[in-house]
Structure 1
Amino acid sequence: MNIVNLEYPVPARVLESVPAEGQSMAIGDFDGVHLGHREVIGRAVSAARRRGLAASVMTFHPHPREVLGAKAYSTSITPLDRKLERFRELGLDTVYVVSFTPTLAALSPEAFVDEVLVPLRVKSVTVGFNFTFGHRGLGTSALLKQLGEGRFDAEIVQPFRIEDERVSSTLIREALALGDVERVQNLLGRPFDVSGDVVTGDGRGRTIGVPTANLSIDARSVKPANGVYAVNATIETGPSAGQTYAGVMNVGMKPTFHSALPVATWEVHLFDFDGDLYGHRLTVSFVSRIRDERKFDSVTALIEQIGRDMQEAKRRIGAQA
């Protein structure tokens, strides 16, 4: 899969690299790459294979709503690196990562089509039913279809529903805010996960017999509700790369030991693992939320609760498997 970082106006070097046969392109931010997004992208890939075109996606970074002042979009369900990993699974030839700037935001819908899509030899466009583009979002999916007449086909994909509920990034964010990672898994079509490097923590876990890996998570990642979770963790780098371990993770402020931390910490204890993970990268997939984070009256009480959490995590991971 070829990744092209694209700015407006479209550079000549990018236009020179466009396949001569043209492209079938899915367009959207695709935050989360959830089941609805996969439907849109899958339709674009199918059209490409059917018509002998290259299969591509156009996505935007940062999120357009963030640039336009929506604070809720300063974090992502899938930060860009994770999003690109998900795209690799979908049979795409090219991903265009468009730098979303105020200049691009000011383009009229007509200019976006004339100066971006047509020069990229787009022959087929696939978008979701609520897709908007151009200045102030005045371009709708219906207008895209109209502007494409005689130049490209436009397919508008209707909402993807699970039990009559429309799958959306907003719904996933709401479920994460509640810590409902099981519901999130249903909406994404896979477990919610985060990746980060193991960094030095306060070392307290080892002193109480429960060594933990402290992860440095991209600040742009949406954080699930504070609490204790059953997880599976895959080691991405180092001697144990590729191995996955069940475990238990605490996301939060560690109130038993700290009166106030500036930011939440992400700590994971891996079952049946004995080794050094410092400096290595982990991907942690969330299985189930076990309980709220809370302050304990003593370290002994905390240790006893951690023991119960570990047993419950093993039960839930085993039940899911």
Structure 2
Amino acid sequence: MALGFFDGVHLGHQSLLLQTKKIAEKNNLKFSVMTFDPHPNEVIKLEKDLRYLTPLALKIERMAAIGVDKLFVIKFNLSFASLLPSDFIKQYVLGLHAKHLVVGFDFTFGNKAQGTVDYLQKVSKNDPFDVTVISKQVHDDEKISSTLIRKIVRDGDVHLVPSYLGHHFEIKGVVYSSNRHKHEKKENMEIHTENKYILPAQGVYSVEIKNGNRTCHGLFIRYGSSKRNDEISGQIIEMLKGGVAEEVTVKFLKQIPFESKSQCSKNFKEVIK
């Protein structure tokens, strides 16, 4: 069983999960994962506006794609956060009959993060489970982490994401025809995303848009304002004529750069027309 929050299921997470899968197959065990929801910081640090690379539904999809046999999603609340490390082991390791734990080098658990990798290795000597610790995964001398990837997305540097995530940053959203542009030849469509998704900085992005088996390229116009919904444009408009709300997946390829702030402002206004 792999343990962790796994936001993004990035390259570091993938290394850990694939090692777990290998151990499971070798020992004829179920490949299982334990994750938590919501993020501990929402409960412990009261970060109510915390945004995710992979909200829970998308994280579950990514786990299934990797081949996870069993996924345990533990509700993270104050009661769970206050568990002593020994109680966590009793309830969530021995209680689930886990035979082998796989964790990252900096994994912590239990009240005030008292449970550490060293603690796990120590108690495993007397309990019927083994522990494998996965070392730090780096790119360009930086630790691959969800925190770093979220910053990259927030900064609008979406072209850098594949080096850490293993693929382009994606979101799922619902689009419908915007009446605002009906008088013009080119119409944009408003897009509503799940509130928990992190989104890039204000600007215009080159994106790939997928709806079912149909894929096209287009633009994602990020307003970054609560008063105006973000929009997408491109061939997707031809695909979804009639203004019917449909779910799409948007893959961010790169931000469209401008030479100066004034040029950015001018071009931004031109694009959103």
TM-score over 0.5 for the pair: yes
**1:291 alignment partner, SS class:** coil
Q: Do 2:7 and 2:53's aligned partners in 1 also have CA atoms closer than 8 Å? A: yes
Aligned in 2, Cα 1:80/1:264: closer, same or farther, shift over 3 Å? farther
- Aligned match of 1:196: 173
Query: Pairwise mapping of residues 263-282 of structure 1 onto structure 2 (< 5 A)?
Result: 263=227, 265-271=229-235, 274=238, 275-276=240-241, 278-282=244-248
- Whether 1:98 aligns to 2:74 is yes
| Unaligned residue ranges in structure 1 (runs of 5+) | 1-24, 236-240, 254-260, 308-321
Let me know the Cα RMSD of the aligned residues.
2.2
- Aligned match of 2:206: 230
| Unaligned residue ranges in structure 2 (runs of 5+) | none
**1:54 alignment partner, SS class:** coil
- Aligned match of 2:135: 158
1:272 CA drift (Å):
7.0
1:295 CA drift (Å):
4.6
From 76, 82, 86, give the equivalent of 2:62.
Answer: 86
| Equivalent residue letter for 1:252 | Y
TM-score where L is the length of structure 1: 0.77
Query: Pairwise mapping of residues 123-202 of structure 1 onto structure 2 (< 5 A)?
Result: 123-149=99-125, 150-199=127-176, 201=178
CA distance in structure 2 between the aligned counterparts of 1:206 and 1:181, rounded to whole angstroms? 31
**Which stretch has the larger CA shift, 224-233 or 267-276?**
267-276
1:200 CA drift (Å):
5.3
CA distance in structure 1 between the aligned counterparts of 2:87 and 2:269, rounded to whole angstroms? 61
Q: Do 2:105 and 2:135's aligned partners in 1 also have CA atoms closer than 8 Å? A: yes
Aligned in 2, Cα 1:249/1:57: closer, same or farther, shift over 3 Å? same
Aligned in 2, Cα 1:163/1:295: closer, same or farther, shift over 3 Å? closer
CA distance in structure 2 between the aligned counterparts of 1:135 and 1:64, rounded to whole angstroms? 12
Aligned in 2, Cα 1:30/1:93: closer, same or farther, shift over 3 Å? same
Q: Do 1:245 and 1:273's aligned partners in 2 also have CA atoms closer than 8 Å? A: no
| Equivalent residue letter for 1:280 | E
CA distance in structure 2 between the aligned counterparts of 1:183 and 1:134, rounded to whole angstroms? 34
CA distance in structure 2 between the aligned counterparts of 1:28 and 1:73, rounded to whole angstroms? 21
Q: Do 1:123 and 1:152's aligned partners in 2 also have CA atoms closer than 8 Å? A: yes
| Identity percentage of aligned residues | 31
TM-score where L is the length of structure 2: 0.90
